[in-house]
Amino acid sequence: MPLSSTAEQIYFSGVNQGFGPNDDAGMVRFYHPEPVKAVDKVQLANGQDDRVGVITRMLVAIHICAAAEAIAFARHLKIPLDQFYELVNAAAGASAMFRKCFEAMRDGKPENAKVGSLDTNIASLCEAIDEAQLAKCPLPLANAALNQMLLAKRREGGEKSAAYVISNWE
């Protein structure tokens, strides 16, 4: 469970840094110890100013991988997937990508998920990771998601839907 393991390590690192008594939103200090509003604005390396777009595309790719991991784990535990969908969808951690990918991943038809190709999502993750390196901001979940997307690309080809990341567990 690569993304879950990475998230767990981030959590433990935050707890070790004294963020344990805070709610999970306090974990942002793992990335930036000062208040977020104190972080300097930076121009993107490509010269454009699409910071929100870079983050949004990165989060889409991470959530596609998280959806695949969760569905694969539910299958492993033999949880009825329709029941699992209802539980996850009603939870605070539900995501639009989970809802978008679930049916296609459940039915073994990842090509039906409208989430862009593996190549497109890999490029988005690489762009975010490159920008984060320039800003000295760690992106462990983006790196874990990139590894999952690259593995799926190796198996399936980059032009296929990013929902094919589910094939890493089949």
Homologous superfamily of the 57-169 domain (CATH): N-(1-d-carboxylethyl)-l-norvaline Dehydrogenase; domain 2 (1.10.1040.10)
Whether the pLDDT of residue 120 is over 90: the answer is yes
Q: Which residues of 126-143 are buried (b: 16+ CB within 10 A; e: fewer)?
A: bbbbebbeeeeeebebbb
Other beta carbons within 10 Å of 70: 21
Other beta carbons within 10 Å of 65: 28
Q: What secondary structure letter does DSSP report for 92?
A: T
Model confidence at 54, pLDDT cuts 50, 70, 90, reads: confident
Whether the pLDDT of residue 24 is over 80: the answer is no
**Average pLDDT of the residues in 108-127:** 95
Report whether 96 contacts 63 (CB < 8 A): yes
Report whether 29 contacts 19 (CB < 8 A): yes
Amino acid of residue 17: Q
Report whether 137 contacts 36 (CB < 8 A): no
**Quick one: residue 136, left, alpha or beta (phi over 0 = left, psi -120 to 50 = alpha)?**
left
**Average pLDDT of the residues in 136-142:** 88
What is the share, in percent, of the chain residues with pLDDT greater than 70?
88
Between these two residues, 129 and 45, which has the higher pLDDT value? 129
Average pLDDT, the chain: 87
In the chain, the largest separation of any two C-alpha atoms, in whole Å, equals 49
**Cα 122 to Cα 70: distance, rounded to the nearest angstrom:** 20
**pLDDT of amino acid 49:** 65
Nearest of 66, 48, 41, 85 to residue 142 by alpha carbon: 66
Between 26-35, 86-95, 125-134, the lowest mean confidence (pLDDT) is in 26-35
Whether the pLDDT of residue 38 is over 90: the answer is no
